[in-house]
Amino acid sequence: MTVVTRFAPSPTGLLHVGNLRTAILNWLFAKAKGGRFLLRLDDTDAARSEERFVEAIRRDLAWLGLVPDGEERQSARLDAYEARFDALVTAGRLYPCYETPQELDLRRKILLGRGLPPIYDRAALALTAAERAALEAEGRRPHWRFRLDHDAAIEWDDAIRGHQRFDPAAISDPVVRRADGSWLYLLPSVIDDIDMNVTHVVRGEDHVSNTAAQVQMFAALGASPPTFAHAALLTGSEGKLSKRLGSLGVEHFREEGIEPQALIALLARIGTSDPVEPIVDPLTLAGAFDFARFGRAPARFDEAELTAVNARIVHQLGHAAVADRLPSGMGAEAWEAVRPNLSHVAEAKDWWQVIEGPIDPPAIDDADRVYLADAARAATDIDWTADPWHALTGALKDATGRKGKALFLPLRLALTGQAHGPDMATLLPLIGRDRALARLQAAGG
């Protein structure tokens, strides 16, 4: 059996971090099993679906490196839904309902007021053909519900949550088609999963009750359901569900300088028993992917943790991977020199400015000014073709008796304008003899 997963967003808005996690988990599992990862655009809501969101979804997946092995659009599959719809009506599993939204809302309020669960009472099943005809003559058009079979419990073994059991009598028969003929999510999704040979449905735990209804839909269509895996939902760093998570998308992360590998590394592991590690190659993450390691507790998404992971990812990126984002002229040697001090690739430009100059003149006290004047003279006599930093500091240590911070810090300040930064042994050759002499002379003046 070839494993097939699918990521099925609705192009009614931009993807947020929860959507991105779902896409990542589906991609990782497919890769772990040598299977296929599909993109399915659930665009049956014609009024809200927009092509700009379709393009944004494709761009976001491309940025993450999650290349689908195929793409489908529900809007191109309406004939398939219509055929299954007719078959289910004939089989008595779909039935028309004529209540208005206001009438349904009133019934729900009455039930809640009595302390009862707001379950649809199946009143439409009692309508005679004449009564239905009379309602339609008034201009009412039916919406359609899937009739759940109440004779047996709904059960399945969830890859994350374990064995699940639902009483169908405690669930409202779900609406699958609106009065205007448009489709809701549940039934088209099942039809697609059957036709696309989807073997595993990986999604958030907020879909568990939907799955209960869909298990019966698969059976009504003569198909076995796929394996379901419902992952715990994300929470914010404050430990509770956060509206902010609904607004964090790829554009936000790109603006913050987050590498796609960092986002994948974090979202692949939070909510599991595995540690979050700065793994650059997502296929390495796929090799260790296992639903058995996912927990039931909410998965805590912390942007501070993401930033820390990002820095460790950046420290591993080769020059070729970032060259198009570096300042003009910044080669591999300079990148490797400054890389250990970066949290984001964009920060490289600041250190390139330090190398190329000009730099902001540092504040130098009188004692250090004399020392730096000595350093400028010593710098004219050292060998700049080998290891100029250790040659310079060695000569100054012998000449002045300085050591430790007193020896190194004034030099760093004079040469870079910064009190900390990359290893000066790698930075000084990049600054070069002429710029270094000019900076030491200016600081010692």
What is the C-alpha to C-alpha distance for residues 166 and 174, in angstroms, rounded to an integer?
15
What is the C-alpha to C-alpha distance for residues 165 and 183, in angstroms, rounded to an integer?
27
In angstroms, how far apart are the furthest CA atoms of the chain? 109
| Tokens of residue 312, six digits | 């460790």
Task: Please state the separation of Cα 175 from the chain's center in Å.
Answer: 31
Burial of 374 (0-12, 13-18, 19+ CB in 10 A): middle
Q: Yes or no: say if 38 and 6 are a contact pair by the CB < 8 Å rule.
A: yes
What is the C-alpha to C-alpha distance for residues 23 and 412, in angstroms, rounded to an integer?
46
Burial of 298 (0-12, 13-18, 19+ CB in 10 A): middle
CB-based contacts of 346-355 (< 8 A; 24+ apart in sequence)? 346/257, 347/257, 348/322, 351/421, 351/422, 352/326, 352/327, 354/416, 354/417, 354/418, 354/421, 354/427, 354/431, 355/427, 355/430, 355/431
- Within 10 angstroms of residue 391's Cβ, the number of other Cβ atoms is 17
Distance spanning both ends of the chain, measured CA to CA: 77
Q: What is the DSSP string of 313-356?
A: HHTT--HHHHGGGSPTT--HHHHHHHGGG-SSGGGHHHHHHHHH
243 marked as part of a ligand binding site: yes
Task: Please state the separation of Cα 246 from the chain's center in Å.
Answer: 11
Burial of 408 (0-12, 13-18, 19+ CB in 10 A): middle
Q: Yes or no: say if 4 and 198 are a contact pair by the CB < 8 Å rule.
A: yes
Length in residues, the chain: 445
- Residues 99, 105, 106, 108: is their CA dihedral positive or negative? positive
Q: Which pairing describes strands 36-41 and 4-7: parallel, antiparallel, or unpaired?
A: parallel
Question: 151 by DSSP, 3-state: which?
Answer: coil
Q: Which pairing describes strands 234-235 and 227-231: parallel, antiparallel, or unpaired?
A: unpaired
Annotated binding residues, written as ranges, equal: 243
Annotated binding residues for ATP, written as ranges, equal: 243
